Amino acid sequence: MSQSPPRHERTATPLTQGIAVVRLLLQRGYALGVTQIANELGMPKSSLHRLLKTLCQIGFLQQNPRNYRYGVDARIFEFVHEVAAHFAHNMRLDAELRKTAAALDASVYVDMLGGRYAYVVCAAGDEGNTMRLGQNSLIHSSSPGKVLVAQMPESEWPKYAPREGDEATTPHTNLSPERFYAQLRQAREKGFAWNIRESSKDHVSIAAIVREPLVNPPRLAVALLLRHDVYIHRDQAELEQSVLKLAARLERILAMKR
């Protein structure tokens, strides 16, 4: 279920207020009037008018000239495209991800850490569509998350371990810190980490670190994603070697001078 955008006390700057307005309109899925937006976000109408005008000027929102309500403008996807194309070297990696997805008959994701979550920043393959960008899982139930945290000092690991209040996404979600630490040690030793139906009961993934020049600790991991009913017919050792080789190819691409 979608959460309501944060109210005014959490949106103290024009930037965070603007993000809150866009989130509200995206989640509602239809245009709202100034009074409705102000009431939802607890913002004064005087400052909201100026903010809405600015959001329209930059192409994030549009106003219906008939009823004066505000909705999200399709031009916002121009900004989304810029993020998707240039964030974390996505444009440089895209061709290799698509090629690998086709060759291995699997989806391919590139993830980064954000707090206690691993976020999809680039994807290719049958399940690498637009809806996957920004998808996130708690690190303890994410193969990219686990392999990235495994490279950190062990003193950092408890920050990412399962904790009280975390919920099991599937019957296979690990909520044991001790088991999580064991998985990290194995990932550090072997260079890859598995997610066996921990974040989705229908999917399995395996991830390896992608090292960038002059970036330490590593911030990128690449994952092969398969449906579980497909995975059970694949060779596990072959998938492990495939993700390691893919990570090495991506590292060579990133090491090349542009």
Nearest to 120 by CA among 84, 72, 150, 156: 84
User: At which residue do the structure tokens 């707090």 appear?
Assistant: 115
Q: Could you confirm whether domain 79-255 is CATH 3.30.450.40?
A: yes
Q: Quote the distance between the C-alpha of residue 182 and its chain's center.
A: 25
At 133 the pLDDT is 81
Query: No. of H helices and E strands in the chain?
Result: 9, 8
pLDDT tens by residue, 8-50: 445 468 999 999 999 999 999 999 999 999 999 999 999 999 9
At 4 the pLDDT is 39
At 219 the pLDDT is 93
At 165 the pLDDT is 92
At 6 the pLDDT is 39
Q: What angle do CA 239, 100, 123 make, to 5 degrees?
A: 100
Same fold, 8-73 and 79-255: no
At the topology level of CATH, where does 8-73 sit?
Arc Repressor Mutant, subunit A (1.10.10)
Q: What angle do CA 88, 107, 173 make, to 5 degrees?
A: 90
DSSP symbols for 200-216: -TTEEEEEEEEPPTT-S
In angstroms, the CA 219 to CA 209 distance is: 8
At 2 the pLDDT is 35
**C-beta of residue 206 within 8 angstroms of C-beta of residue 215:** no
Low-confidence spans in the chain with pLDDT less than 50: 1-9, 11
Distances (CA, A) of 113 to 118, 196, 230: 4, 19, 27
At 102 the pLDDT is 96
In angstroms, the CA 28 to CA 95 distance is: 35
Q: Where are the beta strands (DSSP E) in 57-161?
A: 61-63, 70-72, 107-114, 117-124, 136-138
Domain boundaries, the chain: 8-73, 79-255
At 83 the pLDDT is 84
At 49 the pLDDT is 94
Which residues partner with 226 through β-bridges? 204
Average pLDDT over the chain, rounded to an integer? 91
Q: What angle do CA 231, 193, 91 make, to 5 degrees?
A: 85
pTM, full prediction: 0.81
User: At which residue do the structure tokens 């403008």 appear?
Assistant: 73
Three-state DSSP class for residue 32: strand
Q: Quote the distance between the C-alpha of residue 107 and its chain's center.
A: 15
**C-beta of residue 191 within 8 angstroms of C-beta of residue 206:** no
